[in-house]
Amino acid sequence: MHPHHLATPEKNVPEHHSPTAPESLMYAEVSLAFESRRFVKEASRFSDQLVDTSRTTTLTYIADATEDLRTDVDMKHYEQQRQTTTEYEALHNLDQFLDTAYQHFGSLDTSLSRRTLMDMFEDLTFIGEKEYKEAALGIAEYWKQRLRDDPTKNLFIVTGYTSKSSSYKTESGAKRIKSDEHLLENILYHFDESDMQEFGRRLHITPSTIETAENLSTVLLDDWTISGGQLLDTANAIAREHPELAQDMEVQLITASHRYLHHGVSSKSLPFTIENREPIPVKAYFAAHSVKNRAGAIITGSKSSVDFDFSETCAKIVDAAEASDDLDDDTRKILGTMPNLTTIVRPYY
């Protein structure tokens, strides 16, 4: 499907714990890109990420899974199956899985098409550690620029609303950190002491501090969205508790499909008092790759696996391989378990 000859990963490549601004993109240009076209740059291609031997960040995953574990991947029940790998190795594990499935497609009784497998290889948007850090820095600089350009501007950064559900509690009863809260921590890492002195009073992360804030914009923050459902749930919760915040609300993500970037998230179901409310605008650091013959995108990352088009597609291949009598042992070994990137244990849990 896509022959390639790759070098062995370099050893002891240092990780970049303090990322710098994207080359050739000054902070003001990052801010301008967010404002003018709602994204800064196109996401990296899966084929390019495969040859990036610097991807040595370590991931924890559930080995030998034979089904889509979804959020169960974080449960203690699977602790004995936890193993570690690098981003580079995990990307190649997925590549081998897809390539093998493509080559033996005729032996698999599945509802998938070869085109679906090609879509995954050609248009998968993978957010690895370096993409995550670059986006967190870019969003931080965008916030600073907005606050710098308008000295009266206040930002209310919304995270954790869905965490109120009991389903997001640990076994000890403590509240789990969710992806949006983890992203916020990574963004605020780039606000040094002088930044906090200049902007800190105008950055709000709890509703209790917005009572007297004027010129307030509400930001719904997260890594990405597939269906938009959780974002709408969050927007609903905000609108019920603070109807005035619905007047100026936008979504900011690490990556988003062109559909969401162009059309926003539909807010027809929200209890806004304004009639004919426009969709909630969506901005993202990376524009996800459009998938041929689909409206959305296929997105996943190194900090969490995504179901729907990504993990569910892989699960269908595993099911078909298990049911097939036409595969040799080597092929069955490759296709009989879920790829490592579909069973990532979220580090912030």
Residue 317 Cα distances to 98, 125, 322, 330, angstroms:
9, 20, 9, 15
> 158 lies in a domain?
yes
Domain harbouring 211, CATH code:
3.40.50
pLDDT of residue 150: 95
> 20 lies in a domain?
no
pLDDT of residue 133: 96
In single-letter form, the type of residue at position 244 comes to E
> 226 lies in a domain?
yes
> Range of 152's domain?
129-287
> 274 lies in a domain?
yes
pLDDT by residue for the chain (349 residues), tens only, comes to 553 333 333 333 333 334 444 444 577 889 999 999 999 999 999 999 999 999 999 999 999 999 887 777 666 777 889 999 999 999 999 999 999 999 999 999 989 899 989 999 999 999 999 999 999 999 999 999 999 999 999 999 998 764 444 333 434 444 455 889 999 999 999 999 999 999 999 999 988 888 888 999 999 999 998 888 888 888 888 888 888 888 899 999 999 999 999 999 886 555 544 344 678 999 999 999 999 777 689 999 999 888 677 999 999 999 999 999 999 999 999 999 999 999 999 886 6
* pTM (2 d.p.): 0.86
Helix axes of 27-37 and 129-149: crossing angle, nearest 10 degrees: 90
pLDDT of residue 294: 72
> 219 lies in a domain?
yes
> 258 lies in a domain?
yes
Residues in a beta bridge with 59: 85
Count: domains in the chain: 1
> 105 lies in a domain?
no
> 10 lies in a domain?
no
DSSP-assigned letter for residue 159: -
In single-letter form, the type of residue at position 315 comes to A
